[in-house]
Amino acid sequence: MSIAKRRLAIWGGLLALLVAGITYALRPQPIPVDLATAETGLLRVAIEEEGEARVRDVYTLHAPLRGQMQRITAEAGDIVKAGETQLAQIEPAPPAFLDVRSEAEQHAAVEAARAAHKLAAAELNKARADLTFVQGERARARLLIERSTISQRALEDAERAYNVAEANLATAEAALNVREHELKQAQSRLLSRQEMQNRSGPCECVPVSAPVSGVVLRVMRRSEGVVEAGTALLEIGDPADLEIVVNLLSEDAVKIKPGQKAIIAGWGGEDLKAIVRRIEPFGQTKTSALGIEEQRVDVVLDFADPPDHWRQLGHGYRVDVQVILFEGEVLKLPLGALFRQGDEWAVFVAQEARARLRPVVVGQRNSLSVEIQKGLRPEEKAILYPSDRIKDGVAIIER
């Protein structure tokens, strides 16, 4: 072989190897993907929200009158009995201090009452004098009528005058009695606190007892001091009679019916079972953390487990509530494998190292999984979170 042909063969071989290497390097590569297997399992669809444990019936003890309350010694957790356990004592409060103007007005009222008393005493003396006079006139008239010296009409006038004078005396005595009480009333308004305390003697405290049997949940007013009538003092309830209240969005509350099952979690112990007892008929407008106004409804649940399982819970404790809307064995797939294809749901199924587009019919779903009613068979694998590189028929390889 000549040198020219030999060089041509060498360079031709090298060129062919180069072309083959470039072709191999530029060939389509399978796309690495994550796969999920369609399998039959338990699917639970629930509405999740934070809730609160509370005593079913809370009784608030109020001050029955305004007065000086002695210090409350009861502590939260103390056991009380209805009508037997005394929780507070209140002494009726003395009147407020008088300022200069009010004191001057009260002194003037005392002087006016004293003058009215003197006037009533003078009226009483006048009435007595009139009665003495008409009494003598009546006696003379009776004597003269026996002698036929005066007429019967004159005797009747004397009798009437005597009766009127007697009535005037009774009226004057009653008026004087009224003025005496008015004077004492005016004078009592000027009594000092020390004088009132000396006159009253021992403390006439009003005891405040527990209205029901239970446990003290909270002491809202402990220190000694003046309290107004109706001031809240303590809260009493039965911690063994708990319920759960959860505040749900109104669009979620309409999906719930009494009797539905629920799960109580996130309270520090094992999950508890509960049952929806009541959906409140009144919605409330509340503002979320993002500043959005929401309509929310209180849903009340009862524990389905024995009290021994949730005895550690107390009034006002936070819990996580899951109200179950659906629970059953279905063919399910992770929600991240589905995407919209027009008006239908679809997935990419891995078949013979190729991605195959397949429409599916979905049913129930939660935040993680979805029920596949049609379009997939058990154990088939679908691509999770398909990117825009995944097309029907493209080569894939599991990552």
**Are 118 and 166 within one domain?**
yes
Asked if residue 362 and residue 221 are part of one domain, the reply reads: no
Within 8 A by CB and 6+ apart from 224, the residues are 68, 69, 70, 71
pTM: 0.64
Yes or no: say if 140 and 159 are a contact pair by the CB < 8 Å rule. Answer: no
Indicate if 171 and 107 belong to the same structural domain: yes
Are residue 85 and residue 106 in the same domain, yes or no?
A: no
Query: Strand pairing partners for 384?
Result: 34
Report the pLDDT value the prediction gives residue 346, as an integer from 0 to 100.
93
Residue 335 lies in a domain: yes
Tell me if residue 182 falls in helix, strand or coil.
Answer: helix
Judgement on whether residues 341 and 218 belong to the same structural domain of the protein: no
Residue 351 lies in a domain: yes
Sequence-distant (≥ 6) Cβ neighbours of residue 156 within 8 angstroms: none
163 and 207 belong to one structural domain: no
Whether 84 and 104 share a structural domain? no
Mean pLDDT in each 10-residue stretch from start to end of the chain (399 residues)? 69 74 67 90 92 92 88 90 88 72 80 88 89 84 79 81 87 89 81 59 76 91 89 91 94 93 92 94 88 93 92 92 93 92 91 90 91 92 90 87
CATH of the domain at 81: 2.40.50.100
* Measured CA angle at 378 (ends 377, 384), to 5 deg: 90
CA distance 274 to 272: 7
- Residue 364 located in a structural domain: yes
Do 227 and 349 lie in one domain? The reply is no
Report yes or no on 50 lying in a domain: no
Domain containing residue 159 = 100-189
- Which residue has 């399998």 as its token pair? 39
Task: For residue 249, tell me if it sits in a domain.
Answer: no
Q: What is the pLDDT of residue 362?
A: 93
- Residue 330 exposed, middle or buried by CB count within 10 Å (0-12, 13-18, 19+): middle
CB-based contact 218:235 (threshold 8 Å): yes
The C-alpha atoms of residue 159 and residue 140 are separated, in whole angstroms, by: 11
Domain assignment present for residue 243? The answer is no
Q: Is 261 inside any structural domain?
A: no
pLDDT of residue 239: 87
Choosing from 189, 223, 246, the residue where a domain stops is 189
- Taking the C-alpha atoms of residue 271 and residue 319, their distance in angstroms, rounded to an integer, is 10
82 and 207 belong to one structural domain: yes
Element (H, E) at 21: helix 3-25
Report the CATH number at residue 353. Answer: 2.40.420.20
* Burial class of residue 29, CB neighbours in 10 A (0-12, 13-18, 19+): exposed
- How far is 281 from 271, CA to CA, in rounded Å? 28
Q: What is the DSSP letter of 337?
A: G
Within this chain, do residues 89 and 167 fall inside the same structural domain, yes or no?
Answer: no
- Please report the pLDDT score of residue 186 as a whole number: 81
Rg (CA), the chain: 49
Regarding whether 181 and 136 lie in a shared domain, the answer is: yes
How far is it, in rounded angstroms, from Cα 298 to Cα 288?
16
Nearest-10 crossing angle of helices 100-146, 152-188: 160
Structural domain count, the chain: 3
Among candidate residues 135, 136, 140, the one with its CA nearest the CA of residue 169 = 135
The DSSP secondary structure of 248-298, one letter per residue, reads EEHHHHTT--TT-EEEEESSSSS-EEEEEEEE-S--EEEE-TTS-EEEEEE
Chosen domain end from 180, 211, 237: 237
Same domain assignment for residues 208 and 67: yes
In a domain? residue 368: yes
